[in-house]
Amino acid sequence: MADSMSGFTLSQQGINLAPGVPAPSTVTTSGTGKSPGNGLPPKESEGTPPNPGVRDVSFIKAKLMQPALTSHYEVYILPPPDAKSFIELSGFSYNMTELLSISCSEASLPGSSLTTHELNNDFTGVTQRHAYRRLYDDRADFTFYVNAGSNGRGYDQIRYFEAWMRYITGEQIANSDSVTNFYRVKYPKQYKSPFISITKFERDLGTKKPSGKMTYKFINAFPISVGSMPISYDSSQLLKVTVSFTYDRYVASNVSANQVEQEPTQVPAKGVITNTPIQENPIFTNPKFGISDIQTSTNLGLSPGQVNPGSGGLVP
């Protein structure tokens, strides 16, 4: 019965469609493996997930078989000028920035999150969240190998950050036995670093076709703690020191175009006079009290002889 009726339209078969319902295609695609209609796959529309496709091996090798490794990175730590001068008084005769860069054994790429506000009253049974602030991590940890040194010196990584933190607090030794001391903390702009960064790259850096790199720059960073370092008579291990930095925020390179958003134009409210010149605190002599005062009567609309509520004197 189905084969005998396949050549007739729906109206000829006695089937009536509801208003607004389109009639199905009459093109037979059985055995062709294609979609009905023109024989082409359906087009993707906005909000519709793409149809799964067959990818060749080259795509998998290019995208998935070259994962990034954790052992290729470089840190750069530069104290502010005043702190650097204070630290160098401890006798660092070589480039400590380079030493810290090659001795950093562990570091953490920073992270952030969005703080949201819940809305429960717009739609029944629906909880919406709107972002209103970006929240950065409160610290970044760096672990350094400690060098033994020579000529009676060494432990430069430890002494370096101890000197930086001593500069921040302005610690002073009151006597030779180092028992009594006092401190006066410096201003933030004096001890916050202008440039501390972590650069992540791969082993092919410097070749003809490098895989690229990514740099995280910390804004207004400074050390807040030097971690304890356990030592014992058990089997010897490499001595490491972990230093925690705090910072305001970070900037990640190669993320998007650095475009500065312009502030909206301030439109004055209706009825506000904007073309009236405002006098900037002219000085006059109060005729009643004979003292100098600040005249603000021109902006208050007062007449001569009235009392200026801002200064308490008479308007000349």
Q: pLDDT tens-digit profile of 224-247?
A: 999 999 999 999 999 999 999 999
> 185 and 102, same structural domain?
yes
User: For the residues of 143-189, what is the DSSP string, one character each?
Assistant: EEEPP--STT---HHHHHHHHHHHHHHT-EE-STTS--EE--PPPHH
* 258 in any annotated domain: no
Distant-in-sequence, close-in-space partners of 200: CB < 8 Å, separation ≥ 6: 68, 72, 73, 109, 213, 214, 215, 216
Tell me the three state secondary structure of residue 24: coil
Q: Which amino acid is at 235?
A: S
Q: Which domain holds residue 293?
A: 282-316
Residue pLDDT, tens place only, 236-291? 999 999 999 999 999 998 776 555 666 667 666 665 555 555 454 444 444 444 44
| Total count of domains within the chain | 2
* 203 in any annotated domain: yes
> 94 and 145, same structural domain?
yes
The burial of 79, by beta-carbon neighbours within 10 Å (0-12 exposed, 13-18 middle, 19 or more buried), is given as buried
**Can you tell me which residue has the tokens 């230093």?**
243
* 46 in any annotated domain: no
pLDDT at 158 over 90: yes
* 242 in any annotated domain: yes
What's the pTM? 0.62
* 15 in any annotated domain: no
